Amino acid sequence: MSELRQIDRAPDGPLSRMRARAISLRGAKAGLLAMLAGGAANLAHAPFFLWPALVLALWVLFWQIGAAAEEPRRWRAGFWRGWCFGTAYFLGGTYWIGSAFLVAPERHAIYMPFAVAAMATGLGLFWGAAGAIAARYWPDRGPKQAVWLGFWLFAAEFARGHAFGGFPWHLPGAIWPAGGAMSQVAAYVGLYGLSALTLLVFLVPAGLADGRNDGFGRKIAFAIGAVALLVGGGIAGANRLKPADIDESKRIALGETGVSQRDKWRPDNRSNVISQYLRLLEAPNAADAQIIVWPEGALPTLLLEDPVAIDGIAERLGARMLIVGATRRDVDANGDGIAFNSLAVLRNSDSGLRLDHVYDKHRLVPFSEIVPLSGLFKAIGFEGFAAIAGGFTPGPRPRSLQLANGVRIAPLICYEALFPGLTPRGPDRPDWIVNISNDSWFGVTTGPPQHFNQARYRAIEEGLPMIRSASGGLSAIIDPYGRVTQAMPNPSVVAAAPPESLPPTIYSRFGRVLLLLLTILIFFYGLPGKTNRALARP
């Protein structure tokens, strides 16, 4: 057995040398290598989509967790490597939150490095836990090792997407460009299921190379299985892709001015920003649109309380409807003032501009729209980034809104587009998803294109077109396959007929059940045997 292990570890090629190096490092050096791998894995995500970067990064992590399983304190060594990998991975995936602290640098810049570091290190704890458990109960066989690690990494990602309100940003499945063949797998198992399959397919080759106790036939079977999953997913996705039917009876216009978040809220610039948006209503290509969509937080005012803005909209809107993000105030049951980040549907009536519908954002962004432990943070001078003092109050779960022309829309505001399953289903199923967002907080970083790619997965999962208007981000009309049918390349107005919806997808009908079955299957295959050395040792 020792001879086999020596042969298995002999560096006879670039990958073998990389593996030998990965398993030889301990302590700080092992952590540094894990960080380098985790940081490099970000190249697999938007806007780069270099998916081999995630393959190599996961192989390094796999080899490192295997090495951790050989150390006296396996769980601690596994946690260290997993946490270092995850911290660098999420640092590269969420560094853009620092841009929000530079919108008003005189108030917030001092907090930026602490916030960015806390976000990355906190999210890294999930991968640290996965590494600790995987190393503590590490199987003997290479393929089992790959499946076992894949399961715990997926469990970490699922927990991260749900714990403490959830933050499902940067899921491994999002490395596939939305609208492409591989992304269509999400119509069957969702983005979480696609993430699980991606982790498995990428890890299995490393497990085969490390499979000391597996025969040649077993290795071939696993290799064929991994290739079949990858190629089969691509073929099934390509087969699903069809030309989208267009509803020529409808026409939608998207409008955005391109004003920066900092300039938008300058008191001396308020009337200018409002005037810029009002001019969008007069754009020639929006004249025949029935619906106009502006982004979240488009106007630097309490729109529903601003007679100048309301009169300006009423004068120019005509018979069209306007869907717009708006901050609004109300009172709660105790008579205390509260505020909401809302989507409003406005149209003209005989009595003036009418508020047809309002949706109050259900999932608020922590430390931005709502501040946990607000008393503590207020004591050190940080009160979040909400446009109104005290932050926002969460509204009820999203529901479909039936517009005056009979179209049913499901509103999702900004960060809500990250969450699978928020779109109403069954009898309340909408015709379109309408996603408004304010991405101008994050400047010219990888944040806006990643947000755009992940939002498009909601269209794939639900089989519904998405109408997306984003300030400082990417605005587009998206078909139910996640493909862009009309984009806004620059701040302006674009108008087009929307795609029609598809029948409910398998994921939207049975997604939770299928994901549970997939998870159980992965877990029980990777589960170490009772006589496994990892279980036998203390």
Annotated catalytic residues are: 296, 361, 414
How far apart are the C-alpha atoms of 477 and 469, rounded to whole Å?
9
C-beta separation of 321 from 290 below 8 A? yes
Record the tokens describing residue 13, joined without a space: 């090629």
471 DSSP β-pair partners: 438
Dihedral angle of Cα 324, 327, 328, 331, to the nearest 10 degrees: 150
Buried b / exposed e over 365-393, threshold 16 CB at 10 Å, is bbbbbbbeeeeeeeeeebebbbbbebbbb
C-beta separation of 50 from 198 below 8 A? no
User: Which sign does the torsion angle of CA 412, 413, 417, 419 carry?
Assistant: negative
Query: How many Cα neighbours within 13 Å face the side chain of 4?
Result: 8
How far apart are the C-alpha atoms of 296 and 215, rounded to whole Å?
58
Local structure of residue 306 (DSSP, 8 states): -
Task: Report CA Rg, the chain.
Answer: 25
Q: State phi, psi for 249 to the nearest 5 degrees.
A: -80, -10
Record the tokens describing residue 457, joined without a space: 């997965």
C-beta separation of 77 from 135 below 8 A? yes
How far apart are the C-alpha atoms of 43 and 52, rounded to whole Å?
9
Query: How many Cα neighbours within 13 Å face the side chain of 444?
Result: 1
User: CA nearest 85: which of 145, 36, 158, 46?
Assistant: 36
User: CA nearest 89: which of 50, 54, 134?
Assistant: 54
Distances (CA, A) of 481 to 445, 499, 511: 26, 10, 17
